[in-house]
Amino acid sequence: MLRVYAVLIFAFLYVPILTIIVFSFGESVYPTLPITDWTLEWYRTALTDSQLLEALTKSLIIAPLVGFISATVGLLAARELARREFRGKGLVLLVLLGPLLVPLIVFGLGLLLLFSSLDVPSSIWGAVIAHSVFGISLSTLILYSRLISFRESLMESAADLGAAPARAFFEVMLPLVFPAFAAAFLLSFTLSFDEFIVAWFVIGFDTTLPVEIWGRLRYGITPEINAIATVVLLVSLTLGVLGQKLASQRKDES
């Protein structure tokens, strides 16, 4: 009984995603069953659509930057939090949760008002900053839970044996926290690659891929969306799986 139920829930979670993928190969302009003819036409349309490609390029510039900024800042912040006990530490951890809890529309609007009152022209940097705020929160929490089990004495031993701080960091700490660092990078990347509302608010006329997809979805039937959506879904599924696997590795080793 329970087993059947679990299978149904898995189906519920995955059928909508699979639907898009299946229809991306269907010939009909309208996504209706049955699919009589199969085609790769929509992939060709999507791949020759310069507007879509431009949006994809922007997303591919923003997402790695966000991933890198988030994982690096997150590592430094998590290390301070993990090796020191201080008053108000609980509060700091709570504030870190803030960006992950705040309704996106609130944050997007606030950031837009901030940028416009400072006369910052809208550009991809707005999106990089906005997404990094979430990314840093997420990364710090991932890395913190990893670093809690990292023994600071290892760094001291390295120093005693004559390693410079930078060397100790790169040769002792980084290898040990690398899985969590990579997880933070990948998950922040994915977060940024898929995020829509905040990007929509702050980015002005430059569009990221989700913003471009949104624009097309609002104006009727555009079958090439299914093709680009399939690509996007596969990218985020892969990165999500990798990121989660790395993030949950901590208990098995060390």
Contact flag: residue 2 with another protein (CB under 8 A): yes
Whole-number Å distance between alpha carbons of 22 and 10: 18
Q: Among 46, 27, 1, which Cα is nearest to 212's?
A: 46
Query: Cβ of 158: how many Cβ atoms within 10 Å?
Result: 18
In this chain, which of 53, 102, 163, 172 binds another protein, going by CB under 8 A?
102
Contact flag: residue 29 with another protein (CB under 8 A): no
How many residues touch another protein under the rule CB under 8 A: the total is 67
Contact flag: residue 73 with another protein (CB under 8 A): yes
Cα diameter, the chain: 71
In this chain, which of 11, 95, 120, 164 binds another protein, going by CB under 8 A?
95
Report the nearest approach of another protein to the CB of residue 254 (Å).
Answer: 17
Q: Which residues, in sequence order, are bridge partners of residue 38?
A: 26
Give CA separation, 241 vs 95, 182, 202, in Å. Answer: 27, 12, 29
Are the CB atoms for 57 and 124 separated by under 8 Å? no
Report the nearest approach of another protein to the CB of residue 3 (Å).
Answer: 7
- Residue 41's contacts (CB-CB under 8 Å, 6 or more residues apart) are 27
Contact flag: residue 143 with another protein (CB under 8 A): no
Are the CB atoms for 57 and 45 separated by under 8 Å? no
Contact flag: residue 75 with another protein (CB under 8 A): no
Residues that bind another protein (CB under 8 A): 2-3, 5-6, 9-10, 12-17, 19-20, 23, 30-33, 73, 95, 98-99, 101-107, 109-111, 113-114, 117, 129-130, 132-133, 136-137, 187, 190-191, 194-197, 210, 213-214, 217-218, 225, 229, 232-233, 236-237, 239-241, 243-245, 248
